[in-house]
Amino acid sequence: MGGAYPLRQCAVMDKEEQKHMDRVEEARRTLLALYGGSHSPLEESDPDFAAIKQRLVYSELYAQEALDPVMRELILLAVATTNQTMSEVKLHTCAALRSGASPEAVKEAVYHCAPYIGLGKAEAAAAAVNEVLRTQGISLPLASQRTVSEEDRLTAGIAAQKSIFGPHIDEMRAAAPNDQKPLQDYLSAYCFGDFYTRSGLDIRQRELLTFSILSAQGGCENQIKAHAGGNAAVGNDKPLLLAALMLCMPYIGLPRTLNALSCVDQVLPEPPEGDRPSPQK
């Protein structure tokens, strides 16, 4: 009896050690697939910090199956654009291309940030993306993804809004005070007409990017709630939104992540316990 306890303790320690090593190995494999190996100069100057980041991001969070590899990288590219961390913009541009994203999709993910973070920030990120594209031998400019004309960008934008938020968009526009109607037109023609109608990304991808961009900014709770509902309307369910939030968490911080989570829970509450589907056996 006396010898049994040390053996059991040793077995538990071995299991925990294996779990740790699995995280290390998974991060190594992911970094190799995305970048051809480790990419962080912090490994030389700040090895502990680099290890924390790599094992959380490239092992635990990248293992989520709800997001496909391309969408995962486009979300992180949009978040890096929002945060104006140009080193990360370049990294996730490389990773997106290696994951199978088209150059057009990469550029569209950056362009899509513009109405939410401002043109100057999107321009700065586009310049960083262009550096990577040129090193990959990709000629610029890329083919235009524009699908609207000067004459129909407003009506096309309103149609895009209504496809996400429903017919009450007409009521919202009609109820705006006269001195605020131009802003409603800017919202419809600029945000939705000039960007949402572009090819290169579909409506579901754009809505998920919008949700991630707003969550990264903070102070956008009303818009996060609106786009949580918009995501559900276009087919992005709550588990997908939660997967996107968890992916963003290391880059946007826990406070903004938890605030966005609260918004999602308010708009898409969990069903009562008795109404939840039984697990399949």
- Sign of CA pseudo-dihedral 101, 139, 119, 34: positive
Mention every residue, 6+ apart, whose C-beta is less than 8 A from residue 122: 81, 110, 111, 113, 114
| Residue 280 covered by a domain | no
Instruction: Give pLDDT tens digits for 112-139.
Output: 999 999 999 999 999 999 999 999 999 9
User: What is the tens place of the pLDDT at every residue in 171-198?
Assistant: 999 999 999 999 999 999 999 999 999 9
- pLDDT over threshold 50, residue 11: no
Q: Is the CB of residue 157 less than 8 Å from the CB of residue 194?
A: yes
46 lies in the same domain as 80 = no
In a domain, 115, yes or no: yes
d(CA 73, CA 101): 9
Is a pLDDT exceeding 80 seen at residue 214? Answer: yes
Same domain? 19 vs 134: no
Residues 6+ apart with CB under 8 A from 48: none
In terms of domains, do 30 and 114 share one? no
* Within-domain flag for 177: no
Tell me the one-letter amino acid at 52.
I
What CA–CA distances, in Å, run from 198 to 97, 112, 263? 20, 9, 28
In a domain, residue 160? The reply is no
Q: Does 163 fall in a domain?
A: no
- Residues 202, 127 share a domain: yes
Same domain, 103 and 134: yes
How many domains in the chain? 2
Looking at the fold, whether 87 and 48 belong to one and the same domain comes out as no
In a domain, 114, yes or no: yes
User: Is residue 154 scored above 90 in pLDDT?
Assistant: yes
Domain end: 45, 63, 81, which one?
Answer: 63
In a domain, 152, yes or no: no
Number of C-beta neighbours around residue 90 at 10 A: 19
Instruction: Please name which of 159, 83, 71 lies closest in space to residue 116, comparing C-alpha atoms.
Output: 83
Residues 211 and 258 grouped into a single domain: yes
Query: Would residue 173 count as lying in a domain?
Result: no
Cα separation, 156 vs 147, in Å, equals: 9
* Nearest Cα to Cα of residue 217 among 113, 91, 129, 127: 113
Instruction: For residues 202 and 262, state if they share a domain.
Output: yes
Do 77 and 133 have their domain in common? yes
**Are 57 and 97 found together in one domain?**
no
CATH code of the domain containing 114: 1.20.1290.10
Q: Which domain, by its residues, includes 54?
A: 13-63
- Mean of the per-residue pLDDT values for the chain? 91
pLDDT band at residue 38 using 50, 70 and 90 as cut-offs: confident
- Cβ(56)–Cβ(249) under 8 Å? no
